[in-house]
Amino acid sequence: MSESTSPTTLVILGASGDLTRRLLLPGLGTLLASQPDRRVQVWGSAMDELPDWPDRLREALAEGGAPAEAVERVASGTRYLRLDVTDGQDLDRLLEEIPDPDSTVLYFALPPAISEKSCGLLAERDLGGLHLALEKPFGTDLDSARRLNRLLATFRTEEQIFRMDHFLGEAQVLGLLGLRFANRVLEPLWTAEHVERVEIRADETVALVGRAGYYDSAGALRDMLQSHLLLVLSLVVMEAPATVDALEMRDLMAHALRATRVAGDPAVASRRARYTAGTVEGQAVRSYVDEPGVDPDRGTETLAEMDVFVDNQRWAGVPFRLRSGKAMAADDWRIDLWLRPVPHQPGGLGGRAEPNHVTIHLLTGEIEVSLTTNSAGDKLELETTTLTATIAPSTVEPYGEVLAKVLDGDPLLSVRGDISEECWRICTPVLEAFADGRVPLQEYAAGTTGPWRQPAAR
């Protein structure tokens, strides 16, 4: 599939949902803003009547910055089909309508159970070269992920399957490759010899915002750590690729994740909490348990932490902490690497400078490197100086970056089946500890920084 030949048709299953309107279509709009001549047709499909679909499409693409000519070209060629993707006859009708399966992507913006049921029906049909794009989560646990992957493998090749995770489209996440492997200053430091501990954090101010139907059965561990943050971890710890292509990159990510495990007793190596009423950026936020559609007795966490080790020569003994929370004081997505103290500090140098560290801010692209220097006031007193640089921002939103690869048939930014299973494997002991009540459910007021634990012991 390529923009240089016939148009690629993107068929969005679940087109009436929040994800399509809030993220997927605006992301496509940013892609069209960057590549206004890209040829793509967009069809929508859902169980709802949606007579205003073309207008919704226009509005969302324009919101992403797509030029008026591109917006109108896509909207004038759009179609909307009301159907149930778990009904065989409805699927037959959809497949009959698709003009060229070899240049068509079915995008499942649907819950995992619905996607799996629909794929079971598709497995019984002749699909030609049809590509599938599945929104995360890929299953709800390790067993369901394995079952879904086995099912997909019966009727599609891995190259025809795109498991979507928009974190892989973040410019700052991809910027890790250049930061790590193209800098003589940083590359030698990226080992257990120099790094004492690492934290990967994704705190967000957004609360539930009407997503109880999905989120209350998932929680922060499944929604953020199992997918997004473990994928970031794999890029932080992987070995240097010989070339940045899908095979090499995904092999190295899988290799890194296979070496990753929970740091000891999962009840000790994890934390969970949920927000109570508070104020976020001046706006009142009700308690999570008072959100419409939430079952308070389910004990769903809105903040999760998990400590892991990567058992290989490069990272042996270094604790990694993954953390994400909703309704927090600030949007703070970052990677922090704390460096070890120097083996010997010369006598006569005073002061207690903070440990050197490297911080990568995933939202702004800002990189901070702290250095210990002599104080300007007293040449024998130490202080910390921070050097700052910025990864050039992308004009294309993460969903647009990932969609570009999907539309061109390039799996570089999609999640391979074995990688999705490794992420579930890593999280399973903590999920079981949560379910068994071995990890107490704490509380934090919305608009605060939430509970913190001491860094994991070496």
- As beta bridge partners, residue 322 has 200, 306
Q: How many residues does the chain have?
A: 458
Task: Please give the biggest Cα pair distance in the chain.
Answer: 82
How many CA within 13 A on the CB side of residue 169?
25
Q: CB-based contacts of 437: which residues, under 8 Å, 6+ apart?
A: none
Q: Is 361 a catalytic residue?
A: no
**How many Å apart are CA 7 and CA 104, to the nearest integer?**
9
Q: Choose the catalytic residue: 166, 228, 357, 361.
A: 228
Q: CB-based contacts of 109: which residues, under 8 Å, 6+ apart?
A: 12, 13, 14, 15, 17, 19, 20, 24, 135
Angle at CA of residue 274, ends 271 and 277, nearest 5°: 150
Active site residues: 228
